[in-house]
Structure 1
Amino acid sequence: MNRRELLAVPMQSSGAMDVQSGVARRAGVLWCTRHRAAGVGGPIADTAVVVIHPSSNFMGHYALDALAECGVDAIGMTTRYIGNEAMLLLEHCVVDIGSVVRHLRNEGYRRVVLIGNSGGGGLVALYQNQAEHPTITAPPAGGPPDLTRADLPPADGLIMLMAHPGRNIVLTEKLDPSILDETDPFRRDPALDLFNPDNGPPYSPEFLARYRAAQVARSERITQWALAQLAELKERTHGRVDDLPFVVHGTMADPRNLDLSLDPSDRAATTQWGAPDVANLIPASIGHYTSLRSWLSQWSSSLSNGNGPERLQTVKAPVHVIYGTADPGCYPGHARMLYDAVPHDNKLLTPIPGAKHYLFDQPEHKRACCRLIADWSQSLA
């Protein structure tokens, strides 16, 4: 049976031209794949589930076909920032989700459920928060979009799947505080170096307290520098240039990746990108390439709007938090943060024993997870 089809969703205008791929910008289309429970050409299902990440290409997401086999229509969406994390503004991602939800509503789906996978968890929390109670009139650096004027239809439910609580939270937890010079990843304070064997693992409570405080302090230094750079840029260019790129070194230094006694689970002492000391420096891991405005929107611990637990505190929609007990990057503590933030009782917290972050080479876990998602989504009123 042919289940997969291409879905072209018209992009909402933000009132200004956002910088991304020239083709995507001019086309004004968000590309998604839809896996149909009844097959291409058949009727739509009652329920559509949308798998979401701010920048990853989820058109080929591992769960789509398995979800369709469970009786729901599964959509793997992309935002305007597909493959372009460095320019990403979370607020524009919210507008893009609104475009997809509106498109599906217009097609006749009775239920639309948002699945925030990995970095999508904080984003869908932000979306539902603004769909139900729009308050954000601009990103932290100013300019469009104004979410109080965007078309943001509320979803019928949220699923946090192997999700962390938000990009600003997770990067701060992984930011290497031993780096003394933002231009030189090898100038380090040995007393704060996670990879200095004199410090551990295991890591003492005293070291961890100093380490976590230094991580927050480094994030705030970058935030204040970015704000100052934006002000200088406006003055030097008379407002003709409103952003600049920069590099952040050391973004994969969470003590939990090496000390398994912290937030204990079934995980191995590694990361999604391999050994922690390698992942800390290589280009592939999170947050290395960004811009001034993007840092403030998605990575700043103090200014980003993407703090998932904070956003969930006012959400009325049902929420299901699903986590893998062998996930090396999203921990039981993350799942509990999201679950505890939901203010009502229409919520679930479900572990999948032995499941890793992407369920790679775990077909039984994938089937069980997709059945869980489909059954819960179809049960919503």
Structure 2
Amino acid sequence: MKRILELMVVLVSLAPAGSYAQFSAAPHSEVATRTTFVRLADNANAIVIEPAVPNPAKRRIGLLVTHPDRINNFNYFTGLALPAYGYTVMILNYYGPEQTYDEFIAPIAAAIRALKALPGVQKVVMVGHSTGGPEMTYYQDIAENGPAACREPQRIYKCRAGDLAGLPRADGVVLLDSNSGAPERTMALNPAVDPHHPRRRDAALDMFDPKNGFDPATKGATYRPEFLARFFAAQSKRANELIDEALGRLRKIENGEGEFIDDEPFVVAGASLYVNGARPELADLRLLSRTHSSHLLLKADGSTPVQVIPLVMEPRAAPQDENKLFQTTLNVTVRHYLSFQGLRTDPGYALTENDIIGVQWRSTPNSIQGNLEGIRVPTLVMAATCSPHLVLNEIAYDHAAAGDKAFVGVEGANHGFLPCRPEYGGTFGKTFDFVDKWLSKPGRF
């Protein structure tokens, strides 16, 4: 078992975030559990994993785990780790087309109802890892605030689902190194790419060109301020132009003037769904390199100081992915792009050492930062310091409306909360021990 875990640590450390999210290794637990299959409506089903011997103090809190992309979540490491602490965990699978973000609402509502109907369960807490974070927080924003939350003027693609009033609410939210969703898609747009001839590059905007500060040998970079200013301005322009193009095509579709009556293909060259693409912060580690405020840090030596939290990630820019169809091209539809990917940016959009400025966070449903503005239930945000989501998760914490909220860093953890280097060993246990401590605090739930 030890050797298997060591191999999985290496594999998880090398894989691009997003491609391995649900496959991180969960250390073996000696706690006996039982698993029950639950059939749900709306192209969804679930399993419930609970201790074989119920924990009287913790069975009252049911945890909901899910992740989009039509993957099999039943082996998700969060859902496998948490029953060992005494909690009842429901893991949700959704099999629909994922044409728009609204599709997630009905399955999550059905799962919460089913979880609350289980014997002994009184409270439900959502546990969102990776892109499960935006999905769950979008639901909770609407559950707390009604359909007006997803039909605000700044929304690019307003919700069009049927009855969104009276959705069952979760009682808390836990985000574990959540992917931001559309913000990270925007951050991956490559403004140097000719959209009609993807292998052609504008050298003045190419972050992989050594003349602009990139080092192919290390995959790192030291970009000059003038290059970054030019790059971010062009990236922002590209993001808004894509939204405007998609909105124009949507109007034609809805007026019966499109090529099809319901939707159309929408292909974006120089874009990515993974932690790759044209992201200068993956090469120049001065960008998004630390939190702007002090927070609790779970350190490898067992101490828990409150401090500004630094990123410990190595450069991981991926120029080898540039001309690969499935690595740096989105092949989606107009509606999907507007609902999942579109994020408005403002003049001055840029990444700094510890922030992202010039972003309209609530312009999309696929944004933990925007969604948390409408969520008031207790919220825990945990970030892995060996993952590129650190500063993005702090921004989400800053936007959270909850009065009871916490931000915690896990030193040396990768996206799956395994240690990115041997000297950071024990990160997985530290993470879930803290989640357990937070969930079980008297009076919180």
TM-score range, shorter chain: 0.7 to 0.9
C-alpha displacement of 1:234: 4.5
Query: What is the Cα deviation at residue 152 of structure 1?
Result: 1.9
Q: Is the 8 A contact 1:113 1:157 kept in 2?
A: yes
- Residue segments in structure 1 that go unaligned for 5+ positions in a row: 12-23, 25-29
* Displacement after TM superposition at 1:104 (Å): 1.0
Matched with 1:232 is 252
Q: 2:126 aligns with which of 111, 114, 122?
A: 114
The equivalent of 1:18 in structure 2 is: none
Pairing 1:222–2:242 present: yes
The residue aligned with 2:136 is 124
- After superposition, the C-alpha distances for 1:173-207 in whole angstroms (9 at most, x for unaligned) are 111111122x3221221111111111122112222
How many angstroms apart in 1 are the aligned matches of 2:162 and 2:79?
32
1:256 Cα deviation from its structure 2 partner: 1.1
Alpha-carbon distance in structure 2 between the residues aligned to 1:38 and 1:287: 46
Q: 1:317 to 1:361 in 2, by over 3 A?
A: same
The partner residue of 1:258 within 283, 307, 315 is 283
| Residue 14 (structure 1) aligns with | none
The answer (yes or no) to whether the contact 1:51–1:75 under 8 Å persists in 2 is yes
Q: What SS does the corresponding residue of 1:220 show, helix, strand or coil?
A: helix
Instruction: Look up the equivalent residue of 1:8 and give its one-letter code.
Output: R
Q: Distance in 2 between matches of 1:32 and 1:44?
A: 21
Answer yes or no: is 1:105 the counterpart of 2:116: yes
For the 8 Å contact 1:234–1:242, the answer to whether it is kept is yes
Whether 2:205 is the aligned partner of 1:192: answer yes
Contact 2:62–2:116 (CA<8 Å) still a contact in 1? no
SS in 1 for 2:117: helix
Would the aligned equivalents of 1:99 and 1:152 in 2 still touch at CA under 8 Å?
no
Q: Deviations over 1:233-254 (max 9, x none)?
A: 4456689621122322222211
| Per-residue deviation, 1:313 | 1.8
Matched AA of 1:376? W
Once structures 1 and 2 are overlaid, which stretch shifts more, 235-244 or 56-65? 235-244
Query: How far, CA to CA, are the matches of 1:97 and 1:286 in structure 2?
Result: 31
Extract unaligned runs of 5+ from structure 2. Answer: 1-31, 214-220, 290-310, 345-362
Shift of 1:117: 1.0
Rounded Cα–Cα distance in structure 2 between residues aligned with 1:346 and 1:287: 40
Alignment RMSD (CA, Å)? 2.8
The alignment of Structure 1 onto Structure 2 pairs a total of residues equal to 350
SS, match of residue 175 in structure 1:
coil
**Deviation of 1:232 (Å):** 3.3
Change over 3 Å in CA distance of 1:325–1:299 after alignment to 2? same
Matched, 1:314 2:328: no
Moved more, 234-243 or 66-75: 234-243
- Identify the residue that residue 176 of structure 1 maps to in structure 2: 190
The alignment partner of 1:107 has SS state of coil
Match of 1:15 in 2: none
Give, in angstroms, the shift of residue 360 of structure 1: 4.9
What is the alpha-carbon distance in structure 2 between the residues aligned to residue 147 and residue 307 of structure 1?
22
Contact 1:245 1:289 in 2 (8 A): yes
3-state SS, counterpart of residue 155 of structure 1: coil
Partners of 1:112 and 1:155 within 8 A in 2:
yes
Look up the SS of the partner of 2:94 in the other structure.
Answer: coil
Written as runs of structure 1 = structure 2, the 5 A alignment for 1:17-36 is: 24=43, 30-36=44-50
Separation of aligned partners in 1, 2:435 and 2:167: 23
Deviation at residue 356 of structure 1 after TM alignment = 0.3
Equivalent in the alignment of 2:4: none
Deviations 1:75-103 (A, max 9, x none): 2222344xx5xx43112213321221122
Q: How far apart are the structure 2 equivalents of 1:114 and 1:152?
A: 14
Q: Which position in structure 2 is the counterpart of 1:88? A: 99
Task: Please report how far the alpha carbon of residue 43 of structure 1 lies from its aligned counterpart in structure 2 after TM superposition.
Answer: 12
Q: TM-score scaled by structure 2?
A: 0.71
Do structure 1's residue 369 and structure 2's residue 431 form an aligned pair?
yes
Q: 1 or 2, which has the higher strand percentage?
A: 2
Secondary structure of 1:152's counterpart equals coil
Letter in 1 for 2:161: P
CA distance in 2, matches of 1:353, 1:126: 28
Match of 2:65 among 35, 48, 51: 51
Quick one: distance in 1 between partners of 2:144 and 2:206? 43
Match of 1:304 in 2: 364
Q: Which residue of 1 aligns with 2:350?
A: none
1:64 corresponds in structure 2 to 79
The 8 Å contact of residues 234 and 241 in structure 1, kept in 2 or not, is answered as yes
